[in-house]
Structure 1
């Protein structure tokens, strides 16, 4: 199992927003804090907005913030909304336009698919019990607070 960078950056962005919940935040601020591409982050924030995790305000005094309190944002929901394909093996996928799974020489007697589906369910069961607030601890607040207080870096 490997989460994409898209999901990693989405989670980091939400953590950042959770530490500055008293104000609006700029995408540039998050990108600089984590040293990630601002252009890439725009796409991620857009997707988080569509999914209802982030609220954006346009204009000169605009910015973004969490759309709801951090303790109401499930990590499982975030990952489901940012990962396009959580199927662990190809036989778990259903090809477009068909009702059956990809061809496998062991089907229908193979039980691997069922075991992997059970493992994926267990993975999400843990993440569904955790919220964004659970991963925003004093360490994150301190580290990100230190970054907030540093003068803005000049663009290269």
Structure 2
């Protein structure tokens, strides 16, 4: 799985919004805080707005803010808003891939891979990223291979 700069920027912008609270946050402020190109960020925030994840308001009191509480927005939801479906095989969901008999077990690997990715991404909320209190599954995998089988 490849994480694009666009997805990375979207997640970092959403973390800034979650940490900031309910007040509108200027795009310039997010770009400066996260060291990202402003024009690129504007396009990303517009995609997130179309996906219903952020609201915006123009003007001197304007900016962007989360459309829902950060605890109800998952990393997976943000990635799907920017990139589309997660973990496709040749652009197809793994359960729809057609393999011959000898390669059939590969489909099971792709299905398990997709499920594992979804579990991590969908169990990790924006709030947990903003406050650094990551779910157990993330901590287990990030602590190293000695913890992966527990």
Give the alignment's TM-score, normalised by structure 2: 0.75
Kindly indicate whether structure 1 or structure 2 has the higher relative contact order, using CA contacts under 8 Å at least 6 residues apart: 1
Conserved 8 A contact 2:31-2:41: yes
2:43 is the alignment partner of 1:54: no
What RMSD over aligned residues (CA atoms) do the two structures have, in Å?
2.3
1:39 aligns with 2:46: no
**Segments of 4+ moved more than 2 angstroms:** 84-90
TM-score (normalizing by structure 1): 0.73
Select the structure of larger CA radius of gyration. Answer: 1
- Tell me, which stretches of 5 or more residues in structure 2 are unaligned? 134-150
Distance 1:63 1:40 in 2: 16
**1:123 to 2:122 alignment:** no
Contact 1:7–1:82 (CA<8 Å) still a contact in 2?
A: yes
What SS is found at the alignment partner of 2:18? Answer: helix
SS at match of 1:136: helix
Say whether the 8 Å CA contact 1:51–1:81 is kept in structure 2: yes
User: 1:152 corresponds to which residue?
Assistant: none
Asked if 1 retains the 8 angstrom alpha-carbon contact of 2:22 and 2:66, the reply is no
